[in-house]
Amino acid sequence: MDYIEHIAKAVEFIEQNLADEIDLAACARACGYSQYHFLRVFKEVSGLTPAEYIRRRRLSEIAKRIYQDNEYVSEIAFAYGLNSREHFSRAFKAEFGILPSEYKSAQNSLNLCEPLSFNTEPFRVLPENVTIQDFSLTVYKCLGDDPPICWNKYNAKRLSLRLSGGKICEDFGVSSRNNPENRLDYFIGIRTEDAVGDVSGTQEITIAGGVYALFRTPIATHANFVNTIHRTWEYINAVWLRESGYKRRDGYEFESYTEQSRAFSEKIFIPIDEK
């Protein structure tokens, strides 16, 4: 479609000028639209306003450089026009749920905003069916935040090591649909047998045994790991469950990963029954 080609030109202009002051009127001119039409079409295509997209892209590029470089965080932020340390810290925390200093220390994977692309290749992940036995997890309940923000806080505060008493363990993210309240309940923690440290503020949940579809997310990088997880979940929900001969079984769905491994691939378990 013509508007995709035109918005792609605006995205290219934004990427070329990400470290400079970006005038929205100039973005509109880059794609041959009036400013009003550009704002409307960009939001329709991306789900974000141009200003939101530019802010998220800048914060994402700053996060990449914090992870990769030994520069001072304030110098990196300054390079992208964020001249106030306080303003930058607030913006970073609003986006990722943790402070830049916490991220620099933990270096966990963040949900970064990548350049808007219109040439996405088909995504496919084939599962294997596995049978597991009941097991127990000691977990923190995610309160009010989206799962990626919960993971950021969990990793930045090193809660896995707190639970385990300092031992590196596999971490689990567990989701359950709360139908009465129309929300997703989410929990993060470790196996109860490994939880020999400080377990204050936690609860135990039992993962029921049975047959699960086990998906392994494609190997990713630190920068695109969280996006790869999201794409895998989208594929499961929108494609695989519709096309496979299986349906969701009631019970917890969960994902597991060892953050310190830096392997950038996780396992996703979906309880299933044949249709």
pLDDT tens, residue by residue, 6-48 = 899 999 999 999 999 999 999 999 989 999 999 999 999 999 9
What pLDDT score was predicted for residue 83?
A: 85
> Do 2-105 and 128-274 agree at the fold level?
no
Average pLDDT across the chain, whole number: 92
Q: In the beta sheet, which residues pair with residue 139?
A: 189, 203
CB-side neighbour CA atoms (13 Å) of 217: 23
pLDDT interval class at 1 (50, 70, 90) = low
Q: What is the pLDDT of residues 180-229, one digit of tens each?
A: 777 789 999 999 999 999 999 999 999 999 999 999 999 999 999 999 99
The predicted pLDDT at position 145 comes to 79
Mean pLDDT over 138-146 rounds to 90
DSSP string, 25-91: HHHHHHHT--HHHHHHHHHHHHSS-HHHHHHHHHHHHHHHHHHH--S-HHHHHHHTT---HHHHHHH
Please report, for the chain, the start and end positions of each structural domain, with discontinuous segments joined by +.
2-105, 128-274
User: pLDDT higher for 28 or 118?
Assistant: 28
Burial of 13 (0-12, 13-18, 19+ CB in 10 A): middle
Classify strands 171-178 and 203-207 as parallel, antiparallel or unpaired. Answer: unpaired
Model pTM?
0.90
Continuous segment of H or E residues that includes residue 244: none
- Say which CATH topology domain 128-274 has: Multidrug-efflux Transporter 1 Regulator Bmrr; Chain A (3.20.80)
Beta strands in 163-217 (DSSP E): 171-178, 183-191, 203-207, 210-216
Angle between helix 24-31 and 50-68 (nearest 10): 100
CATH topology of domain 2-105: Arc Repressor Mutant, subunit A (1.10.10)
